[in-house]
């Protein structure tokens, strides 16, 4: 593994170079292939982990209905659902199901998990995208600025700001945002993804995506689009700032790292302006590690989504997860968590590929 | 083309002093330096590491970090770099003075094409359309001898060889045709053969582009090859300045004298060699190391074909005998050394070390033999555990092999060893970073001989050291070898250095052993063309002779 | 070479990383470090002396004068007012620090040893073991820590809510998330150090793997731990708060927990009763801010590229390739090379 | 707000709730959230008209015991579902047969414990064959979650219908039809012209119901006028705060929900299974506890008046409800009385303080439980007579443990299946040896059992009421449980919404049809 600097300033003959030269030999295609194959163990491990954890709690039936049914009724249903078979058998079966995209049926409100995922996945996706946009808009320029002004006071301010973004629990931030914009100023809606009338109209859409912005665009009424967007503002900020904080620090550190590289000095010695040094010469090499790490932010993002969605009644997977958790519906929880695992794995895959594409040492 | 006429002053440094604010108080890096360079002239700044060469160079382009404060004057044209405004500084960077960096692979931005990077320089100083910039880039790449430039202009740095990278770096410097080129150790990272080519290129810069060149180096050979005038720096001061012939002819300052004396000359070794050969003749014994068409392949990852670093190499090392192993970077020297030391497993052929066959050997079988083998690494800085005191480090082998209970018990022996490598006892209590490079290398010698091994493997033990220091370490090595009578594999890329110590010299090229014999044979009458080229490329610290050799090299090249 | 500190002095310094860094730091960097240290110290002291500082018990509802009464505004007998349940906010906030501290300590003690051990072994031994461990580690590392924590806490606590059960489950949940981080960092360090000459020289001397790992590698590899420690500490608090907020926290009768109090006070805020939520909220923010400030400063000081001043020769260990900045390393998390290693 | 779908004269109305629907199919759900929806859209044979606790024929014309075990219901002629299908006796038979057949674990089939079989001799006649004779509660059952009549042409006979199937087929014949159904997010209702029952036509044509997860969001939206009515559930704090808000009106109505704590007769102090078993002392402990609890404090401080003190086992508002505990325990005016408690214990020779472990739960009985029980703890400990060890446990574990008799004193709550005193007595205290009552605290009194059976089959209203009072008195003397609070139904409406009061009645069914805006 290499530090940012080593990434870009590798002396010839050092291990990086060697493997590097090999990668070049193999080319991008092989890299993508390897990286793609890596998805499976990751997903597999997470799914297994979740499955085993969930089983240690006991079977889902008892968990969700234990309060209501008497012993024999429970036994019946447990048997019917096959939860009394050896765990390994259930496990194999479960894997099979996941492979065929069938995650089972929720116990508390018997809906097919796949439906749940489809219905609420869009919402979470939408929120995540908004949040990322906020994070990028806030995090990356400020990060560069901080690197540019490093160790002067604006830098310090920005960094403390970044930490604050991160240090404020999403739900607390959400609370304050609601209070200020929703209650005191009353300029923004405090909950939900759209007003009743909007949602009613969306219900009528023949092919609704569950991604409200798209649906709103389908309807095409600017008022509705505005309505949808205005509902997204606060959640996006609450969740976005969380990640923005990390981005800011990420960009700062790596840009500073590359700023101290010889080639930046070299460029400087040819009269390239300081700003351009940051903007171009230092930023792009820094981008490779940044992107890779940004990949890991998806985890932070999804974790935050659970809290954000609950705070803002943003009815997405995170929100549902919280709901099912309190209903002790572990089949549902298991399903959602498994999906999130897949999402995480795939995102990291994509991100690594993008990073590789940016890195000419891999591209061919 | 430089705007200056030949002989006009390109840069004038008067009474320059640079101090750095550091945790450990202020460091005066440059102290009242006065220099000047004219167009079409090469001024070499030599001096040992830390003497202030780089700082001086950086000052010329105003590249010092904020922690540095410079006084005095550095005149580029009519601008005094020390006092000039940032804006103006930017304007003259690259146009009045350009810099060539030591490490070509770090001086190039890995994520932009070289074309783009060359264009950056242009863009910084005027309007250029993409096409224009590119055209100029191609032109200049062509000038510095990059084959099919119009293609390569779109290549990324990693697609060039080390030498080519350095050419690109130089091209970047030339593209704005500056009056002055500052080259900070432009060839130190390169193999001698490549070094020779780059030196030629720089010479062309001087002759064809009429550029003034400040050449920073610590290699007197390079100086002799390229410089017109030489300034010797010592602890931040210029202790002597003279034109090249007179400097080599009759050096004034005694530091300069020491410096020149320390420089290893080819053929200086043959004398000792004969003596030692004589001694060995008395005690004949079976060789300690025998390699029969040895093969070492580094595993390629994921079924990708492995990389064969050593290919069918055969040699022997007799008792009390020193085998010198030379070859360019990447030729497999270290690999062989590591194989003998049991750090890299061999994949083919046969290698017997102290009677132990190394093919498919188990660490368990080999460990007892380790007490018989000493190892000295290239970089003294990293070969000590930073958290252990020198004494503890030197005591390690004794403890590991049960010669002593713990560091304290071993102390008396450690002191002896330190004595043996001419280090004061007290140094035992210091930590590695508190020793100079040379001292550290002595310490690691002490550690290597702690168990009085029969075989010692030294991988470029001096290449990280200054010439003067190197000389002393080499002496020490020779003495120890005499005293303890160990056989040695001495790895270096510097023929001259090998020549001093080695009884026999083996030349490695691309993992194959192309020539082997006594110093006299190999250096006197090289057979293999590569050996010839290697010899010819090696600049000797003597301007007159170097000129001759250069001619020969030209010949060799043209022959191919 | 003028002043050569004696070994034991260095040893001492090494045992007190913060002090050491504090001495190195300058200017703004020192400012941030000091600010962080002050906040953190305040937090720890509050935690330790909570019994003395807190005017009331964390589950106390009435004193000699009878019931406190619920949702009293700040002032009078209750400096920060009382909650909807009739608890004294100030006391809850103070006692909360104790809970937080406990969780952090337990969590980190649990994770640090396991993490270091497997990191060291995996990194040094390498091979298949390493690949497997890395894949697992990365999988877990890449997964939303809060979710894992939730699942874990259900598993562990089995719904019990007493102090011990609560804290332990919270702690263990967090542990599961942290182990991979320590693992990554230590492993990365180990791999870096493994290839350093001094380890090889130990090898050629003939030292056994055990000796190499523990005498030569371990101590050099643990350099970055204080840093991760702080960063994890802050993450621990946030995770704990998250758990409490989602109702997987600790019941008010068994311990005071900021996230839980925040959760309970949401409806207050909308009714203009701000004090029940703002103070626990601030507590979280400030503590995390403090601890993270310390961590960041350490990170900078450990990284010659980020330090304001170059450090004096030798003792300049470059930053860990895997600094466990919340939500991921600030440095590249291994790229093609790492991948190749893994695959 | 509002809008969507066709509109007539009446202004569309938007209602917000934190209820959760599980399954729309009546056979598959037995929870408030789902029942709240079913009440609007499914027809009942019997139902409680506005303002009364007692049931009357809804879509039925009449219903009588044609024989002790045969309860015969005559349907009004020409009934239709919103989708035009005829609603006949065969739909009714289909409904109940289906319910029993599926017997879903989440379903209400357990309520039909007394139903043997159903006959449909002709299009408008349904005969319910019961197991026990003249069951007076059966009418109530017909108005309970087991009562909604479903369309046999839409619902599968042996498995649950999905929400989509039901909504798509408009298999509704209640006051409303559903035009758009977004699970637990938004339901759009449209008045059902075909409904012709005791409740009458809907006042508002279009009603949209928005589902919230967090009470504070619901509160904020009603305050901001984004919704017209907020019903179930607002946090006590929110309600208290809204009371002060001039833009909205807070309506309180009697609530069927009761909160209480239970003594396990075996494991409580001096319980039958304890080392120092002693019925007298055990009773004294229970009485002392009853003397010490301060219901007013709980209702005011913890619940901000969203609950009111409960002094009996049958909540106020139902026929036969008393306030017997007020007279028996405490200061006689409903307040606590430490002296009396002390005396009770002393007389029985109990050495104080008595240690009791008090168990409660938050994820099922509400977040405020922790505050409630913290308060009770301090109330019981006030006189130094008790030392209470408070313990909360997550619900699954909780219900297992309490059934296993792990807990000696524990919290429970109850929400009625139908609004009749019986539903507050039988499940708790009817405890013949063969069957354990729902609270499982090993309290058994044959006399009470007998009385409970009797009231169940007494058709004369007055006489039945007397029996019910008698039962309450008997139980109160022995205190198997200590009733604490009776939940008010609280609805908040923006100014200009009328009819809220009408539907906040002892039927505990909130009917949107009663509301109108204008
Ligand atoms: N940024 C800096 N901060 C503090 N001291 C510095 C800095 N740069 C250089 N120095 C000090 O200035 C002195 C001269 O450094 P310089 O790099 O010029 O040596 P040099 O002659 O180039 O040596 P080398 O041959 O190894 O390149 C050294 O003692 C070095 O420690
Ligand atoms: N661990 C490794 N994995 C793969 N290839 C390697 C490895 N180590 C060395 N090589 C390759 O083997 C060849 C020989 O390397 P080696 O280090 O022996 O060269 P060298 O002669 O010591 O060069 P230098 O003079 O730069 O030290 C090089 O091409 C190098 O790229
Ligand atoms: Mg230098
Ligand atoms: Mg080498």
The average pLDDT across A286-301 equals 79
Cβ separation D367–C264 shorter than 8 A:
yes
Which atom belonging to ligand 1 lies closest to the Cα atom of B27? 5
Q: What are the residues facing B356 on neighbouring strands?
A: B353
Question: Could you report the per-residue pLDDT of D279-294, keeping only the tens digit for each?
Answer: 999 999 999 999 999 9
The average pLDDT across B236-262 equals 91
| Candidate of B190, B305, B335 to mutate for ligand 2, largest count of ligand atoms within 8 Å of Cβ | B335
Residue B426 CA, distance from chain mean position: 31
Nearest CB partner across the interface for C159, out of D236, D370, D397: D397
- Alpha-carbon gap, residue D267 to D435, rounded angstroms: 20
Q: Which residues 104-163 on chain A approach chain D with CB closer than 8 angstroms?
A: 108-111, 119
D363 touches chain C (CB under 8 A): yes
Q: What are the residues facing D75 on neighbouring strands?
A: D60
Burial bucket for residue B105 (CB in 10 Å: 0-12, 13-18, 19+): buried
In this prediction, residue D385 carries a pLDDT of 93
D26 to chain A, closest Cα gap in Å: 13
Sorting pLDDT into bands at 50, 70 and 90, what band is C157? Answer: low
Which residue's CA is minimally distant from atom 4 of ligand 2?
B298
- Alpha-carbon gap, residue B233 to B543, rounded angstroms: 20
Q: Which chains touch D (3 or more CB pairs under 8 A)?
A: A, C
Residue A186 CA, distance from chain mean position: 30
Nearest CB partner across the interface for C327, out of A163, A246, A257: A246
Least confident of A11-15, B466-470, B526-530: A11-15
Residue C249 and residue C238 in contact, taking contact as beta carbons nearer than 8 Å: no
Least confident of A106-110, A342-346, C275-279: A106-110
Residue D238 and residue D216 in contact, taking contact as beta carbons nearer than 8 Å: yes
Closest CA to C237 of C194, C270, C282, C200: C282
Choices 1.10.3720.10, 2.60.120.10, 3.40.50.150, 1.20.120.790: CATH for A114-326: 1.10.3720.10
Q: Which ligand is nearest to the CA of C312?
A: 1
Q: Is the pLDDT of residue B278 over 80?
A: no
DSSP letter, residue C330: S
Mean residue pLDDT of chain A comes to 80
Compute CA distances B207 → B1, B180, B181, B203, whole Å. 10, 13, 13, 6
Over chain D (518 residues), what is each successive 10-residue block's mean pLDDT? 48 92 89 92 93 88 92 93 93 94 84 92 94 89 93 93 92 94 92 90 93 88 91 86 92 89 93 91 95 92 88 90 92 91 93 91 81 89 88 75 86 87 88 67 88 88 92 94 91 93 87 90
Question: Could you report the per-residue pLDDT of C173-202, keeping only the tens digit for each?
Answer: 778 878 888 888 888 888 888 888 888 888
In this prediction, residue C314 carries a pLDDT of 30
Residue B229 and residue B43 in contact, taking contact as beta carbons nearer than 8 Å: yes
Pairing label, strands B307-317, B487-491: unpaired
Residue carrying the six token digits 């006590």: D236
The average pLDDT across B282-299 equals 83
In this prediction, residue A196 carries a pLDDT of 87
Per the structure block, which two tokens stand in for C229? 């420690």
- Alpha-carbon gap, residue D456 to D448, rounded angstroms: 12
Sorting pLDDT into bands at 50, 70 and 90, what band is A25? Answer: very low
Q: What three-state secondary structure class fits C75?
A: strand
Closest CA to B94 of B74, B124, B56, B59: B124
Closest CA to B378 of C124, C204, C201, C209: C201
| Long-range contacts, B420-427 (Cβ 8 Å, 24+) | B420/B446, B420/B449, B420/B480, B420/B483, B421/B445, B421/B446, B421/B476, B421/B480, B422/B476, B427/B390
Q: Tell me the domain boundaries of chain A.
A: 114-326
Query: First-to-last CA distance in chain A?
Result: 22
* DSSP annotation string for C101-114: HHHHHHHHHHHHHH
Residue C101 and residue C287 in contact, taking contact as beta carbons nearer than 8 Å: no
- Alpha-carbon gap, residue C16 to C66, rounded angstroms: 49
Residues comprising chain C, all counted: 343
Question: Could you report the per-residue pLDDT of B27-38, keeping only the tens digit for each?
Answer: 888 999 999 999
Q: Is the pLDDT of residue B499 over 50?
A: yes
- Alpha-carbon gap, residue D86 to D73, rounded angstroms: 17
Please enumerate in sequence order all residues whose Cβ is within 8 A of that of C271, keeping only pairs 6 or more positions apart, or say none: D219, D237, D238, D240, D241
From chain A, pick out residues whose CB is under 8 angstroms from the CB of B379.
none
| Peptide bond between residue D233 and the one before it cis (omega within 30 degrees of 0) | yes
Backbone angles phi, psi at B507, to 5 degrees: -105, 125
Mean residue pLDDT of chain C comes to 76
| Peptide bond between residue D353 and the one before it cis (omega within 30 degrees of 0) | yes
Which atom belonging to ligand 2 lies closest to the Cα atom of B493? 25
Least confident of A4-18, A231-245, D42-56: A4-18
The average pLDDT across A135-154 equals 90
Sorting pLDDT into bands at 50, 70 and 90, what band is A77? Answer: confident
DSSP letter, residue B352: E
Secondary structure in 3-state letters for chain A: CCCHHHHHCCCCCCHHHHHHHHHHHHHHHHHHHHHHHHHHHHHHHHHHHHHHHHHHCCCHHHHHHCCCCCHHHHHHHHHHHCCCCCHHHHHHHHHHHHHCCCCCECCCCCCEHHHHHHHHHHHHHHHHHHHHHHHHHHHHHHHHHHHHCCCCHHHHHHHHHHHHHHHCCHHHHHHHHHHHHHHHCCCCCCCCCCCHHHHHHHHHCCCCCCCHHHHHHHHCCHHHHHHHHHHHHHHHHHHHHHHHHHHHHHHHHHHHHHHCCHHHHHHHHCCCCHHHHHHHHHHHHHHHHHHHHHHHHHHHHHHHHHHHHHHHCCCCHHHHHHHHHHCCCHHHHHHHHHHHHHHHHHHHHHHHHHHHHHCCCCCC
ipTM above 0.85, yes or no: no
- What is the enclosing helix (H) or strand (E) of B310? strand B307-317
**Where would I find the H helices in B61-191?**
86-92, 104-107, 114-123, 130-143, 149-152, 162-175
Question: Could you report the per-residue pLDDT of C61-110, keeping only the tens digit for each?
Answer: 777 777 777 788 888 888 888 887 788 899 999 999 999 998 888 888 88
From chain A, pick out residues whose CB is under 8 angstroms from the CB of B94.
269-271
- Alpha-carbon gap, residue A157 to A164, rounded angstroms: 10
In this prediction, residue C229 carries a pLDDT of 80
Compute CA distances B201 → B3, B166, B194, B227, C110, whole Å. 20, 10, 11, 13, 62
Q: How big is the B-C interface in CB pairs under 8 Å?
A: 91
| Candidate of B17, B27, B58, B189 to mutate for ligand 1, largest count of ligand atoms within 8 Å of Cβ | B27
Residue carrying the six token digits 């409100």: A109
Handedness of CA A322, A328, A334, A336 (dihedral sign): negative
Which atom belonging to ligand 2 lies closest to the Cα atom of B511? 14
Mean residue pLDDT of chain B comes to 87
What is the Å distance from ligand 1's center to B243 Cα? 25
What is the Å distance from ligand 1's center to B52 Cα? 6
In this prediction, residue D122 carries a pLDDT of 92
Query: First-to-last CA distance in chain B?
Result: 32
Compute CA distances B112 → A22, A73, B115, B147, B516, whole Å. 20, 70, 8, 20, 44
The residue of D106, D247, D410 whose CB has the most chain A CBs within 10 angstroms, and thus the best one to mutate to test that interface, is: D106
Handedness of CA A51, A54, A58, A64 (dihedral sign): negative
Q: Do chains B and D touch (3 or more CB pairs under 8 A)?
A: no
- Alpha-carbon gap, residue D188 to D175, rounded angstroms: 13
Handedness of CA B535, B537, B542, B545 (dihedral sign): positive
Nearest CB partner across the interface for D390, out of C69, C158, C253: C253
Q: Which chains touch B (3 or more CB pairs under 8 A)?
A: A, C
D227 to chain C, closest Cα gap in Å: 16
In this prediction, residue B3 carries a pLDDT of 63
- Alpha-carbon gap, residue C132 to A155, rounded angstroms: 41
In this prediction, residue B67 carries a pLDDT of 80
In this prediction, residue B182 carries a pLDDT of 93
In this prediction, residue D187 carries a pLDDT of 94
Q: Global pTM?
A: 0.82
Per the structure block, which two tokens stand in for B370? 């380790």
What is the Å distance from ligand 3's center to B421 Cα? 28
């Amino acid at each position: 593994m290499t530090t940012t600097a080593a990434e870009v300033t590798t002396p010839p003959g050092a291990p990086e170079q060697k493997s590097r030269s090999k990668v070049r030999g193999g080319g991008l295609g092989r890299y993508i292939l390897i990286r793609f194959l890596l998805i499976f163990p990751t997903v597999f491990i997470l799914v297994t982990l979740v499955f085993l954890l969930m089983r240690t709690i006991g079977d889902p039936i008892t968990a969700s209905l234990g309060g209501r049914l008497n012993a024999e009724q429970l036994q019946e249903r447990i048997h019917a659902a096959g939860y009394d078979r050896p765990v390994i058998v259930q496990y194999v079966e479960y894997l099979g199901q996941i492979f065929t995209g069938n995650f089972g049926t929720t116990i508390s409100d018997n809906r097919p998990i796949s439906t749940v995922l489809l219905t609420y996945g869009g919402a979470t996706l939408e929120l995540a995208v908004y949040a990322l946009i906020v994070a990028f808009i806030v995090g990356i320029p400020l990060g560069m600025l901080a690197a540019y002004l490093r160790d002067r006071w604006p830098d310090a301010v920005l960094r403390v700001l970044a930490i604050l973004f991160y240090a404020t629990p999403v739900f607390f931030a959400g609370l304050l945002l609601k209070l200020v914009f929703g209650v005191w100023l009353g300029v923004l809606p405090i909950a939900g993804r759209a007003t009743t009338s909007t949602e009613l109209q969306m219900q009528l859409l023949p092919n609704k995506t569950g991604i409200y912005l798209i649906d709103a665009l389908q309807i095409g009424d600017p008022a509705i689009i505005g309505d949808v967007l205005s509902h997204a503002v606060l959640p996006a900020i609450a969740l976005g700032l969380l990640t923005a904080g990390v981005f800011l620090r990420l960009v700062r550190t790596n840009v500073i790292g590359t700023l101290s590289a010889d080639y930046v000095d070299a460029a400087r010695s040819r009269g390239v302006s300081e700003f351009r040094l940051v903007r171009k010469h230092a930023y792009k090499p820094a981008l490779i590690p940044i992107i890779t790490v940004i990949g890991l932010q998806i985890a932070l993002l999804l974790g935050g989504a659970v809290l954000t969605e609950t705070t803002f009644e943003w009815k997405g997977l995170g929100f549902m997860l919280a709901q099912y958790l309190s209903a002790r519906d572990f089949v549902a929880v298991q399903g959602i968590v498994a999906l999130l695992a897949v999402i995480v794995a795939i995102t990291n895959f994509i991100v690594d590929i993008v990073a590789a594409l940016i890195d000419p040492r891999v591209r061919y | 083309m430089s705007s200056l006429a030949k002989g006009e002053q390109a840069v004038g440094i008067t009474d320059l002093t640079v101090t750095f604010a550091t945790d450990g108080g202020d460091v005066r890096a440059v102290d009242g330096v006065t220099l000047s360079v004219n167009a079409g002239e090469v001024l070499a700044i030599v001096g040992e590491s830390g003497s202030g060469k780089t700082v001086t160079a950086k000052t010329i382009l105003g590249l010092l970090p904020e922690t540095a404060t410079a006084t005095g004057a550095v005149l580029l044209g009519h601008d005094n770099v020390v006092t000039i405004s940032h804006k103006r500084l930017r304007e003259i960077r690259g146009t009045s003075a350009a810099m060539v960096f030591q490490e070509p692979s770090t001086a190039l931005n890995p994520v932009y094409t070289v074309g783009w990077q060359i264009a950056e320089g242009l863009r910084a100083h005027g309007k250029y359309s993409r096409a224009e910039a590119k055209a100029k880039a191609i032109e200049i790449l062509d000038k510095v001898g990059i084959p099919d430039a119009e293609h390569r202009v779109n290549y990324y740095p990693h697609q060039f060889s080390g030498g080519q990278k350095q050419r690109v770096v130089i091209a970047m410097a030339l593209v704005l045709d500056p009056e002055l080129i500052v080259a900070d150790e432009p060839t130190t990272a390169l193999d001698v053969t490549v070094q020779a080519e780059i030196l030629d290129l720089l010479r062309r810069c001087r002759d064809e582009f009429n550029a003034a060149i400040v050449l920073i180096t610590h290699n007197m050979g390079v100086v002799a090859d390229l410089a017109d005038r030489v300034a010797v720096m010592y602890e931040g001061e210029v202790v002597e300045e003279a034109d090249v012939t007179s400097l080599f002819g009759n050096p004034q300052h005694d530091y300069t004298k020491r410096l020149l004396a320390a420089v290893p000359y080819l053929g200086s070794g043959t004398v000792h060699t004969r003596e030692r050969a004589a001694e060995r003749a008395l005690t004949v014994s079976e060789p300690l190391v025998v390699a029969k068409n040895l093969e070492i392949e580094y595993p390629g990852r994921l079924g990708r074909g492995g990389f064969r670093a050593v290919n069918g190499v055969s040699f022997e090392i007799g008792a009390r005998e020193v085998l010198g192993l030379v070859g360019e970077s990447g030729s497999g020297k270290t690999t062989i050394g590591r194989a003998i030391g049991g750090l890299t497993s061999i994949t083919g052929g046969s290698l017997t070390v102290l009677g132990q066959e190394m093919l498919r050997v188990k660490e368990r079988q080999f460990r007892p033999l380790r007490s018989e083998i000493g190892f000295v690494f290239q970089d003294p800085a990293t070969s000590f555990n930073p958290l252990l005191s020198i004494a503890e480090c030197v005591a390690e082998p004794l403890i590991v092999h049960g010669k002593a209970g713990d560091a304290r018990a071993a102390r008396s022996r450690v002191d002896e060893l330190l004595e043996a490598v001419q280090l004061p006892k007290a140094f035992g209590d210091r930590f590695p970073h508190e020793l100079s490079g040379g001292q550290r290398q002595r310490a690691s010698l002490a550690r290597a001989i702690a168990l009085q091994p029969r075989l010692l493997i030294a991988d470029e033990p001096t290449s990280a050291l200054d010439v003067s220091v190197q000389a002393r370490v080499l002496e020490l090595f020779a003495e120890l070898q005499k005293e303890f009578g160990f056989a040695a594999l001495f790895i270096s890329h510097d023929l001259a250095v090998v020549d001093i110590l080695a009884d026999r010299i083996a030349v490695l090229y691309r993992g194959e052993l192309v020539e082997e014999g006594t110093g006299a044979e190999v250096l006197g009458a090289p057979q293999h063309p590569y050996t010839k080229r290697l010899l010819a490329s090696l600049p000797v610290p003597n301007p007159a002779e170097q000129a001759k050799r250069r001619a020969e090299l030209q010949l060799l090249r043209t022959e191919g | 070479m003028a002043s050569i500190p004696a070994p034991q002095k260095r040893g001492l310094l090494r045992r007190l990383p913060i002090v050491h860094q504090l001495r190195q730091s300058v200017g703004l960097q020192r400012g941030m470090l000091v600010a962080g240290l002050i906040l953190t110290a305040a937090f720890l002291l509050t935690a330790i002396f909570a019994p003395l500082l807190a005017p009331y018990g964390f589950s106390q509802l009435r004193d000699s004068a009878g019931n406190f009464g619920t949702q009293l505004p700040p002032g009078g007998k209750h400096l920060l007012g009382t909650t909807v349940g009739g608890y004294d906010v100030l006391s809850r906030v103070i006692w909360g620090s104790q809970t937080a501290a406990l969780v952090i300590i337990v969590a980190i003690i649990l994770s640090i040893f396991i993490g270091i051990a497997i990191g060291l072994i995996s990194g040094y031994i390498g091979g298949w073991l390493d690949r497997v461990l890395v894949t697992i580690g990365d999988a877990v590392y890449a997964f939303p820590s809060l979710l894992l924590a939730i699942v874990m806490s259900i598993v562990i606590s089995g719904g019990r809510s007493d102090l011990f059960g609560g804290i332990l489950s919270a702690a263990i949940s967090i542990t599961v998330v942290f182990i991979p981080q320590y693992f990554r960092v230590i492993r990365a360090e180990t791999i870096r150090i493994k290839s350093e000459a001094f380890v090889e020289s130990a090898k050629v001397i003939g030292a056994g793997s055990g000796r190499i790992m523990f005498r030569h590698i371990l101590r050099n590899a643990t350099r970055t731990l204080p840093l991760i420690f702080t960063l994890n500490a802050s993450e621990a608090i946030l995770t704990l708060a998250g758990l409490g907020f989602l109702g997987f926290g600790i019941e008010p009768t068994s311990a005071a927990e900021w996230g839980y109090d925040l959760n309970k006070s949401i409806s207050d805020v909308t009714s203009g009763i701000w004090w029940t939520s703002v103070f626990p909220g601030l507590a979280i923010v400030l503590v995390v801010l403090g601890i993270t400030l310390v961590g960041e400063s350490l990170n900078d000081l450990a990284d010659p590229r980020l330090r304001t001043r170059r450090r004096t020769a030798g003792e300049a260990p470059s930053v860990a390739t895997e600094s466990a900045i919340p939500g991921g390393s600030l440095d590249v998390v291994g790229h093609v090379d790492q991948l190749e290693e893994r695959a | 707000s509002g809008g969507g779908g066709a509109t007539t004269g009446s202004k569309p109305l938007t209602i917000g709730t934190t209820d959760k629907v599980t399954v729309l199919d009546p056979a598959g759900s037995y929870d408030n959230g789902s029942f709240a929806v079913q009440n609007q859209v499914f027809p009942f044979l019997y139902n409680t008209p506005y303002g009364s606790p007692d049931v009357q024929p809804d879509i039925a014309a009449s219903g009588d015991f044609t024989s002790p075990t045969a309860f015969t219901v005559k349907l009004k002629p020409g009934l239709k579902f919103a989708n035009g299908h005829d609603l006949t006796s065969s739909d009714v038979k289909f409904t109940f047969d289906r319910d029993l057949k599926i017997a879903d674990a989440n379903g209400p089939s357990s309520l039909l414990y007394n139903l043997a079989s159903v006959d449909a001799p002709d299009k408008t006649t349904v005969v319910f064959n019961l197991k026990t004779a003249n069951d007076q509660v059966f009418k109530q059952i017909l108005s309970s979650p087991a009562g909604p009549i479903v369309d046999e042409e839409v619902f599968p006979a042996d498995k649950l219908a999905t929400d989509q199937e039901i909504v798509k087929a408009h298999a509704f014949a209640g006051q409303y039809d559903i035009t758009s159904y977004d699970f637990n997010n938004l339901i759009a209702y449209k008045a059902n012209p075909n409904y012709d029952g005791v409740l009458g036509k809907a006042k508002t044509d279009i009603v949209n119901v928005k589902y919230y997860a967090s009470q504070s969001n619901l509160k904020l939206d009603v305050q901001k006028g984004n919704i017209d009515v907020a019903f179930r559930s607002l946090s006590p704090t929110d309600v208290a705060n809204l009371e002060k808000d001039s833009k909205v009106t807070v309506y309180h109505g009697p609530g069927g929900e009761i909160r209480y704590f239970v003594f396990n007769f075996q494991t409580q102090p001096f319980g039958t299974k304890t080392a120092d078993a002693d019925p007298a002392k055990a009773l004294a402990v229970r009485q002392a506890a009853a003397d010490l609890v301060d219901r007013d404090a709980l209702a005011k401080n913890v619940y901000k008046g969203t609950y009111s003190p409960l002094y009996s086992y049958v909540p106020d508002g139902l026929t036969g409800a008393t306030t017997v505990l007020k007279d028996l325990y405490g200061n006689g005016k409903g307040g606590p009385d430490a002296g009396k408690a002390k005396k009770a214990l002393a007389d029985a020779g109990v050495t104080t303080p008595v240690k009791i472990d008090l168990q409660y739960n938050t994820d099922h009985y509400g977040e405020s439980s922790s505050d409630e029980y913290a308060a009770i703890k301090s109330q019981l400990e006030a006189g130094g007579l008790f030392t209470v060890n408070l313990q909360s446990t997550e619900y699954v574990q909780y219900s297992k443990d309490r059934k296993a008799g792990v807990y000696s004193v524990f919290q429970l709550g109850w929400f009625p299946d139908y609004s009749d005193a019986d539903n507050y007595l039988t499940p708790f205290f009817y405890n013949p040896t063969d069957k354990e009552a729902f609270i499982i605290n090993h309290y058994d009194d044959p006399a009470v059992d007998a009385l409970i059976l009797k009231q169940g089959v007494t058709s004369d209203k007055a006489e039945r009421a007397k029996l019910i009072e008698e039962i309450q008195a008997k139980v109160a003397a022995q205190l198997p449980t200590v009733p604490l609070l009776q939940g008010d139904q609280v609805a908040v409406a923006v100014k200009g919404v009328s009819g809220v009061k009408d539907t906040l009645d002892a039927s505990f069914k909130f009917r949107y049809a009663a509301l109108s805006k204008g």
